[in-house]
Amino acid sequence: MRAQVKLLRRLVVVGVALLVPALGLADAPAKQYKPYLSNDPFVQDDFTGLQWERDSSPAKAIFAASACSTRNPRLNANFRLPTLRELATLLDNQPRKTIYEGAPKDLHVDQSAFPRSNPDVYWTLTQAPSGDVFVIDFSSGEIGTMAPTATAFVRCVNPT
């Protein structure tokens, strides 16, 4: 009987742990992000003051700027594409391996703070003199440019 009660207690504890979102602290430098719940849609960077959307989705550059105001009702009017300098603050110098499109890839972003990030190219708001748009490749950590007709990922920021 005691074994059954003990097992029941364990099941209740495990069940509660699954129902209550986890309080997360990123694997970034200590105190980089304010504490957040695992299901929070945003994370606040204490170093820069920027509030970041944790999800991302692909879009062409010509639609990327409006994506921040149209795709997610939780994003208010202050959310926009990040500048090159802002997006570069998310680059992690110590990438972790992840599986992307069936193959192992490096991911140069904090996977605790941004668990649904793709090791792919992300748009910025910054345009190059050529008319191309600056992007950051989070699989290599490199900065480059792409034509506005290309498709890359969008991660919105609120400069608060």
What pLDDT is attached to residue 19?
34
d(CA 67, CA 83): 15
CATH assignment, 2-158: 3.10.100
142 to each of 1, 23, 33, 121, how far by Cα in Å?
61, 31, 23, 9
Phi then psi dihedrals of residue 88, to 5 deg = -65, -20
b/e string for 29-60 if b means 16 or more Cβ within 10 A? eeebbeebeeeeebbbbeebebbbbbbbebbb
Q: Record the pTM.
A: 0.77
Handedness of CA 38, 43, 45, 49 (dihedral sign): negative
Per-residue pLDDT tens over the stretch 66-97:
888 765 556 566 888 999 999 999 998 888 88
Report the alpha-carbon distance of residue 19 to residue 100 in Å, rounded.
28
Q: According to the model, what pLDDT value does residue 49 have?
A: 93
**pLDDT computed for residue 141 by the predictor:** 94
Which residue numbers in the chain have pLDDT < 70? 1-30, 70-77
Query: What confidence score (pLDDT) does residue 74 get?
Result: 61
pLDDT of residue 27: 57
Residue ranges per structural domain of the chain: 2-158
Residue 64 pLDDT: 86
Rounded Cα distance between 24 and 33, Å, is 9
The two structure tokens encoding residue 107: 């991911």
pLDDT value, residue 51 = 92
* Dihedral sign of CA atoms 73, 77, 81, 86 in order: negative
